[in-house]
Structure 1
């Protein structure tokens, strides 16, 4: 049991998903008691066991469907042809999806960064704010946010970035934004949001192409970032950006944002 819960925590830290299967009812013979749990990973591997054999294979099959839908399910499994086998004649298993953790790292703790952080935490994101200014890091936006004081060259030091991590770049200058973007593209993050206009995006892309960055890497950059709601203030920008993050999380959308800051 401890190993399963430890793995669940590890899944969330990695930004990955899984399904927790719990044996809630069994009739007939069986090697596992009611309450036995098994964790199904998104690659089909398992932690723990419900007894193996046909039962476990069927649970894993249903688990893949639950992982796809994101909805819990109570399934009843009987042996083929109604014949009782060693796994029991009737088994009921509750399948509970464990959604991937929503991890957002914001580079730049100015007005916009703090506004996005506050809104993102309300939406259930785990937020890390990174800046090189002590006075900005000291501006608290919520007790659940993590604050890191780093020089720009070390913004990504000791930060775990996976393909499911969301990155937002909104530092105080274009020069710093570009440097952070260079570092961000060396990570596996699929969503790299950059605050700014289409002109800023094209200028940055031209520079990065000259530096040898491949086109498929540039396609990970979402700029302008945020949904097109006519946002102007930091708080409105926070709503626009977090709305797009939620859209990505829920739908896996690959469309770029259409928000253009009024000042750029």
Structure 2
């Protein structure tokens, strides 16, 4: 699930208005999970992704009207088949998307988003509740609430308190849901989870993705080649992203302190491009495939680009524990073992 709150807070503090698109329901083979968010700026540039292709183009087009009227849009999008030029999406699925305006001068909205960002930074799990009116076409900060296992934030509301009680009864098992009983409420849990992002979708990536999923990591595979980054090749991955390029990755994928980055692209120049971007994040683990010779060259290049020795010390290269691995399967095992070592708090114990 996307963590956009830091970017939202940056925009709000800059007094920029924007639109947030959220997948609130998914069916079939839709490319992104429920709860995935995308931010649309006033100039129609995007932060994050809800699936690429024509879906994002149509949502962006709808956002123009949302900017103008400030009224939310709740719309279904159906993906007919993989050759359907109208949607250019994975076959046999669909999503319902909520497209809402966010006003930087809405004090209640700012407070709720600031609290969400604070809780996220603290590692506190919480659920965001949004009332999606059936007869009033606007969503403001007064229509949003946050509950943790012990705390509640937002205006007092009897119905929301009732929903909060229900949420707390099964707090760790809440899923994204658009409730449509007496009134419509969007329920969005934000739990701390560890994500492995594999950048590069070759043979080694296939083997790694299968292992990381088994180890309980939320597994995302990214490449700029559709013929490699697709669900047929990565059936167990939680998300498979075929991007137009590997530039500006932080605007396309969410990376935080619970992220583990595995860089296995198709060449050294691509590895360098990605690595330089990842060093600007606070990812918990950054590993790059390659030999000791490649490592030394890469580190020297990074230092010349202005990165520090402390930056370079964050990199795990050659990637994986030294078990003299040779085959893709063995390399994947060595990488998975290193991830476990980092997860257990032995990040820089390379022995």
Structures share a fold, TM > 0.5? yes
Give the alignment partner of residue 329 of structure 2, picking from 235, 242, 246. Answer: 235
Give the alignment partner of residue 188 of structure 1, picking from 282, 285, 291. Answer: 282
Aligned to 1:131: 223
The Cα of 1:188 is off from its aligned counterpart by 1.3
Aligned to 1:146: 239
SS of equivalent to 2:247: helix
The Cα of 1:140 is off from its aligned counterpart by 2.4
Alpha-carbon distance in 2 for matches of 1:134, 1:146: 13
The Cα of 1:47 is off from its aligned counterpart by 3.0
RMSD over aligned CA atoms reads 3.1
The Cα of 1:221 is off from its aligned counterpart by 0.6
Aligned to 1:47: 151
The Cα of 1:190 is off from its aligned counterpart by 2.9
Aligned residues of 1:15 and 1:101 also touching (Cα < 8 A):
no
Which has the bigger relative contact order, CA under 8 A and spacing at least 6? Answer: 1
CA 1:211–1:229 in structure 2 vs 1: closer, same or farther (change >3 Å)?
Answer: same
1:119 maps onto 2:211 in alignment: yes
Aligned residues of 2:123 and 2:192 also touching (Cα < 8 A):
yes
1:176 maps onto 2:270 in alignment: yes
Aligned residues of 2:198 and 2:220 also touching (Cα < 8 A):
yes
Give the alignment partner of residue 108 of structure 1, picking from 177, 200, 204. Answer: 200
Aligned residues of 2:259 and 2:284 also touching (Cα < 8 A):
yes
Structure 1 spans left out of the alignment, 5+ residues: 1-5, 21-36, 40-45, 49-98, 259-264
TM-score scaled by structure 2? 0.46
Aligned residues of 1:15 and 1:164 also touching (Cα < 8 A):
no
Alpha-carbon distance in 2 for matches of 1:205, 1:231: 23
SS of equivalent to 2:227: helix
Provide Cα deviations, 1:194-231, integer angstroms capped at 9, x if missing partner.
11111111101111111111111111111111112221
The Cα of 1:14 is off from its aligned counterpart by 5.6
1:251 maps onto 2:345 in alignment: yes
SS of equivalent to 1:147: strand
Alpha-carbon distance in 2 for matches of 1:211, 1:113: 28
CA 1:121–1:131 in structure 2 vs 1: closer, same or farther (change >3 Å)?
Answer: same
Moved over 3 A (4+): 13-20
Which protein shows a greater Rg?
Answer: 1
CA 1:14–1:160 in structure 2 vs 1: closer, same or farther (change >3 Å)?
Answer: farther
1:204 maps onto 2:298 in alignment: yes
TM-score scaled by structure 1? 0.60
The Cα of 1:18 is off from its aligned counterpart by 5.0
Aligned to 2:86: none
SS of equivalent to 1:247: helix
Alpha-carbon distance in 2 for matches of 1:217, 1:232: 29
The Cα of 1:38 is off from its aligned counterpart by 6.4
CA 1:205–1:172 in structure 2 vs 1: closer, same or farther (change >3 Å)?
Answer: same
Alpha-carbon distance in 1 for matches of 2:345, 2:198: 22
